Structure 1
Amino acid sequence: MIKSARFTLPALLVGVLAVSPQALASIENEELSVGLRLGMYNFDDGRQDVVNNTLFNVSSGFKNIAPGIQLNVPLTETWSLRSYLDYVKADLTGTSASADGYAVGVDALYRLPNNFYFGAGLNTTKTGDDSSRGLRGTAGYRQAINDNLSWSVEYALQFGDFTDHAIIAGLQMSFGEGGSALAQIRGSAEEEARRQAIAARRDSEVAPTTDAGGVDTTRRDSTMAYRSDEELAPQIRAALVDIDRTADADGDGVPDYRDVCQNTSRGHAVDARGCSVYEEQSQVHHLRVNFGFDSARVPEEYYGYIRELAVLVGVYPELDILIEGHTDLIGPAEYNQRLSERRAQAVADILVNQFGIDADRITTIGHGMDEPVVNRITLDANARNRRIEATVTVTESVPARD
């Protein structure tokens, strides 16, 4: 009996990992979990076993504890494959003896956003001399305890040669730290690009620009600095006797006698008057700060990014800041709501107290666990969901390119 289970379980585990190449990739992304199970089975009373050459029927009812183990391998964010092995014992009617055996199988599980899950799979159950194979349906609920541990409870219905019922409680542990380093590298690159963009915009506010002819082309208050003769009306210049109607000194395609804005920069798109055409361009600065488990303390490595946001809003005094706090999916909703508000306020306090931003320009809000980046409970997902986000959009007028 037990010998058969030893051969069956490894074959099932190999089958789970061989079903999809994504399974192995998911293991590297801290998705693999193993667990212990305690169940109670209600066996079909049509099952039988022979004791001392006498045939006895199995006694129905949830009576004996069935310990077991399981392995869960995710395929996607919502689908996973689970294999399990339970040691079972069935009481026999009319005798104190029992029929020992096992239940082993593989389920495909689908997890809902509210932590409930459903599944279906194949099962082999052996009690004494009776062995049956059939389908198995299950419905359950799984809740995280912390980043590594979670508990679950489920109901299962097995049907084939016999119809059996089971209620099973489980404790699972997740393994792996894959993906975290890659996310940090990607995040660092994005923040570096943001810093460079802010520095370029800041420099453009204070550094005047000139074209090839030495004319100041810095845009101030929606006007351009022109040479004095460029203020002459086109019809007056056209009346000059010695004018060359084909001359185009700045090469913008508008003859000099009609060019109100002579010496425009090369490559600028111009209108019929020869003046640079401006277009609106928006730059988006996004700040994300991640927090530790159950913490509202801002990690020191994010202070530089917060300073960049402070520099940006200092250059553009018309900008206001909305800071939104979030939590992972672990714990009570009311507690997480307060924690998300504390996280948003912690970043606001740094902007005000350390970088001198007016508190009236900052609004904070907490979303609790309602808006996760990743709607699941794993080490990587929890770390990404524990965050604040602030997005500031700057719109500027820049010369259109020809």
Structure 2
Amino acid sequence: MNNKTKLTAVAALTAVAMSASAWAEEGVMQPSQGWFVGAQLKHAEFDGDRKDANGNEIRRGTLAGLELGFDLSEKFAWRLTAANADLNSDGAGEDESGMWYGADLLYHINDKRNYFILGADYIDLDSEATKAAHLGFGIRYNMTPSWVLTGEAMVHQGFDEGYSDFTAGLGIRYYFGGHKPESKPAPVAQLAPVAVVDTDGDGVVDSLDECPATPMDYAVDQSGCTLYREETVSKRLMVNFGNDSAQVPSESREDIQELAEFMEKYPQLNVVIEGHTSSVGAQAYNQQLSERRANSVSEILIRDYGIDAARVSAKGFGESNLLLKGSSEKIHAANRRIMAVLSVNEKVGIRK
């Protein structure tokens, strides 16, 4: 190939590479895929050493042909080409003609808009048949999902004679597989805003609240139910009596009523009224006196406050369980008494 021809080949390859980006930007349609067929029209510039049958130098010519190919993957494809060669010879009375066959491997870049070409040629002209390898660059424009325009430029290097040739041209290609559809994300349903309602104001919305009527000043769990702690609740009753008397003092009635109310609140409780005396007097008499004192309080609980008799019992201890020991009147007064102690464990709500 002479210097002028070489410069032409380099310029053509450069132009193809520089225009590839601009053309590819226009071909924004999704790349085609699968089997394809196409037609090509190319211009050829030949090595100055290539001669026709009369010894005249073959300069240039036109190649018109077909292609058949298949995409092996997103990056690679193969194809076969066959073109009729109509060539011009210097000083010849008639043109040189023949067939130009090729087998190519295409490597796609830039989302299949540009590609490199590597392959082999078999050129069968009137004057001779030669073999060559070629390297080139191509660009493509996706007109529709199936129809594609191509532009290619290649340098061909002969195996036997060492010829260096150049071809460049345009083509149109049809893909049987169509385009590979883009996967689109499923539409996201627009949900209507849900009103957040917390009727009892405990911080748990109604849709999750299993205890919808909890007091606002109590702590709740994640289900909206009141948090509790175990607490022992007790009630103590002590009534003091006059000397040698089992009559309940009127001022003690209020304390007995409170005990009755405690028992109504906790119906699981029973009470034992314990009667006691001071150490003054005979022991047997004091035993009887303590029993009468216990019975008098028991009767008030049952008769006046409606406590079930089965829940109330009376027991006298006489002077066996003195509250205080000694012989003063103050000590004796403290020992003349009845006593009752009730206690129960209950759940108590935890306040905020």
* TM-score bucket of the superposed structures, by smaller chain: 0.3 to 0.5
TM-score (norm 2): 0.45
Structure whose residues are more often strand by fraction: 2
Structure with a larger share of its residues in helix: 1
The TM-score, its normalising length taken from structure 1, stands at: 0.40
Tell which structure's C-alpha radius of gyration is larger: 2
